[in-house]
Amino acid sequence: MPEESCLFCRIASGELKVEPLIETERVIGLLNTMEPFSQGHCVFFPKTHTPALHEMDAEDLREVVTTVQRVAKALSAENYNLLQNNGALAGQTVFHAHFHLIPKWSEDEGLVYRRQPQHGLDQAEISRRLKDALAQP
């Protein structure tokens, strides 16, 4: 069900007129003209309102990823980031699941990704808990 205040729902419903880069039965892809990180930065989202990745319909997710792949090939960018944030703490600002395809044409452009070691994390414990949760139907 569309959310009245959701930017992507307003685009999907036709209320906001945009020029899609690509559109399928389930997905819209746009060039990011508001806050592009690089030349060719695109945003992809399902037409159905879903706040986060873990809530997405499997067919919507499959079609989003396939659409992103088509555009990545068309861009001919050898280096790119695929970014998907869930929740405010993760940087999500539009609460409709969406993916950013961010080409990297030079070291200075696009999404900057830096690893910061997190000492004291117990990966073995989280692995055990996840395996237990995944084993349950």
pLDDT value of position 1 = 56
pLDDT at residue 121 in the model: 74
Spell out the per-residue pLDDT of the chain, length 137, in tens. 567 889 999 999 999 999 999 999 999 999 998 889 999 999 999 999 999 999 999 999 999 999 999 999 999 989 999 999 999 999 999 999 999 999 999 887 778 777 777 777 788 888 888 899 999 88
Q: What CATH number is given for 7-135 in this structure?
A: 3.30.428.10
Q: Which helix (H) or strand (E) holds 73?
A: helix 58-75
| pLDDT score for 29 | 97
CA distances from 32 to 26, 27, 44, 83, 127 (A): 19, 15, 10, 13, 37
Active-site option among 41, 96, 98, 100? 98
To which residue do tokens 């067919």 refer?
A: 59
How many C-beta atoms surround the C-beta of residue 84 within 10 A? 15
> Which of 98, 115, 121, 130 shows the shortest CA–CA distance to 32?
98
Question: Tell me, what's the pLDDT at 120?
Answer: 74
Per-residue burial over 49-74, b = 16 or more CB atoms within 10 Å of its CB, e = otherwise: bbbeeeebeeebbebbeebbeebbee
Among this protein's residues, is 98 annotated catalytic? yes
C-alpha–C-alpha distance, residues 134 and 137, integer Å: 7
Instruction: Please report, for the chain, the start and end positions of each structural domain, with discontinuous segments joined by +.
Output: 7-135
